[in-house]
């Protein structure tokens, strides 16, 4: 009986871990679903919505000098016409998103 419970426990943990990994999105996936429509696939802001909202390119000097804490604050609280994502994205998702943004700055 104890062996059976141990196997059941291990199987349950495996299923929980598998489910959590399926729910996780990469920074690139998050960017595509939440940011790309305004900031463009390359982070240039060269989209109709990005032009209308005056989205700055991620490789512009004023954006490049922002720390990860600054970028986190912008994503959480929003800025100008950019919506806030606090409560919509977890801290881990925001960190993953910032990592992806850094790849677009190169």
Kindly state whether residue 52 falls inside one of the protein's structural domains: yes
Range of the domain at 63: 25-104
Tally the domains of the chain. Answer: 1
Kindly state whether residue 4 falls inside one of the protein's structural domains: no
Kindly state whether residue 15 falls inside one of the protein's structural domains: no
pLDDT at 22: 39
Kindly state whether residue 6 falls inside one of the protein's structural domains: no
Reported pTM: 0.75
* Residue listed under structure tokens 């943990």: 13
C-alpha dihedral over 88, 94, 98, 99, to 10 degrees? Answer: -130
Kindly state whether residue 8 falls inside one of the protein's structural domains: no
Kindly state whether residue 39 falls inside one of the protein's structural domains: yes
* C-alpha–C-alpha distance, residues 36 and 2, integer Å: 52
pLDDT (tens digit, 9 = 90+) per residue, 15-73?
A: 454 444 435 689 999 999 999 999 999 999 999 999 999 999 999 999 999 999 999 99
What is the domain-level CATH number for residue 58? 1.10.760.10
């Amino acid at each position: 009986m104890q062996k059976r419970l141990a196997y059941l426990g291990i199987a349950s943990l495996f299923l929980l871990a598998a489910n959590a990994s399926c729910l996780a999105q990469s920074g690139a996936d998050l960017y595509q679903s939440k940011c790309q429509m305004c900031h463009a696939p390359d982070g240039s802001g060269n989209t109709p919505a990005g032009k209308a909202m005056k989205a700055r390119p991620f490789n512009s000097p004023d954006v490049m000098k922002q720390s990860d804490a600054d970028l986190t604050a912008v994503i959480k609280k929003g800025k100008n016409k950019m919506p806030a994502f606090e409560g919509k994205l977890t801290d881990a998702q925001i960190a993953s998103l910032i990592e992806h943004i850094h790849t677009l700055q190169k």
